[in-house]
Amino acid sequence: MDLHLTQDLQKAWHEATDALGLARGTRLDSTSATALLRRCLAIGRATGESTAPLPPPERLVRLRGQLPQLASCLVEGAAAQVAQALEDPTYCRRLVELAADLRMSERMAPEICLAIRAGSMEMLSEAPLDAVIFADPQLIGHELYPLCIDACVAAGPKHVPVGVHLDWLVGDSATRVIHYDLEEDRFIEMSLVTPRRLDRALPLALGADEQHHHRTLDELFAERCRNRFHAAETLDHKAISAATWSKLGLSIPSQTVCSVGDVDGARQVLSAGGEWVLKPEASTGGQGVVLLEGPMELHKTPDDLVESLQICWAYG
Same domain, 16 and 100: yes
The CA R_g of the chain, rounded to the nearest whole Å, is 24
Q: Whose CA is closest to 169, among 212, 215, 135, 207? A: 135
Determine what percent of the chain is predicted with pLDDT higher than 70: 90
Same domain, 135 and 228: yes
Same domain, 77 and 149: no
Same domain, 128 and 86: no
In which band, very low, low, confident or very high, does the pLDDT at 49 lie, cut at 50, 70 and 90?
very low
**285, 208 contact by CB (below 8 A):** yes
Check residue 299 and give its pLDDT. Answer: 54
Supply the CATH number for residue 146's domain.
3.40.50
Do the domain assignments include residue 179? yes
Same domain, 91 and 162: no
Mean pLDDT of 117-143: 87
Residue 254 has pLDDT above 60, yes or no: yes
Q: Whose CA is closest to 142, among 89, 195, 104? A: 104
**CA geometry: angle 213, 228, 127, nearest 5 deg:** 95
Same domain, 21 and 52: yes
pLDDT digits (tens, 9 = 90+) for 136-187: 999 999 999 999 999 989 988 778 899 999 999 999 999 999 999 999 999 9
What is the pTM (predicted TM-score) of this model? 0.81
Mean pLDDT of 43-50: 55
Do the domain assignments include residue 241? no
Check residue 191 and give its pLDDT. Answer: 96
Check residue 48 and give its pLDDT. Answer: 45
Domain span at 279: 251-313
Check residue 69 and give its pLDDT. Answer: 95
Do the domain assignments include residue 296? yes
Same domain, 157 and 76: no
In which band, very low, low, confident or very high, does the pLDDT at 292 lie, cut at 50, 70 and 90?
confident
Mean pLDDT of 107-131: 86
Same domain, 178 and 276: no
- Number of domains forming the structure of the chain: 3
Read off φ and ψ for residue 68, nearest 5 degrees: -60, -40
Same domain, 162 and 190: yes
Mean pLDDT of 241-253: 87
Do the domain assignments include residue 246? no
Same domain, 136 and 229: yes
Of the residues 78, 106, 134, which one is the last residue of a structural domain?
Answer: 106
